[in-house]
Amino acid sequence: MQKKHLPICEGGDRFQLRCRNCTWGALVRLGLLATTQAAEFLPEGFWPVPLPNGGHATWAKGMDPARLAFLQRIGAQPIPTMRPFQGRHYEGWLAPGASGKPIGFVECEDLGNALYIFDASDFTWTATAAKSKWDILHEKPANFVGRVMHTGDWQHRVLDLLARL
Rg of the Cα atoms in the chain = 18
Cα(70)–Cα(73) distance, integer angstroms:
5
Cα(116)–Cα(133) distance, integer angstroms:
9
Q: How many structural domains are present in the chain?
A: 2
Enclosing domain of residue 133: 34-164
Instruction: Collapse the DSSP code of 106 into the 3-class scheme (helix H, G, I; strand E, B; otherwise coil) and give the result.
Output: strand
Cα(58)–Cα(66) distance, integer angstroms:
22
Segments in the chain forming alpha helices (H): 20-29, 66-73, 125-129, 133-139, 154-164
Cα(6)–Cα(12) distance, integer angstroms:
4
Element (H, E) at 119: strand 115-119
Q: Please tell me whether residues 28 and 80 are part of one structural domain.
A: no
Q: Please tell me whether residues 124 and 155 are part of one structural domain.
A: yes
Q: Please tell me whether residues 26 and 56 are part of one structural domain.
A: no
Stated pTM of the model: 0.68
pLDDT in tens, the chain (165 residues): 444 566 655 666 666 666 666 666 666 655 555 555 556 676 666 555 555 555 555 555 678 889 989 998 988 888 876 455 555 578 888 888 888 888 999 998 888 889 999 998 888 888 898 888 889 999 999 999 999 999 999 999 999 988 888
Q: Please tell me whether residues 9 and 41 are part of one structural domain.
A: no
Q: Please tell me whether residues 92 and 146 are part of one structural domain.
A: yes
Q: Please tell me whether residues 139 and 93 are part of one structural domain.
A: yes
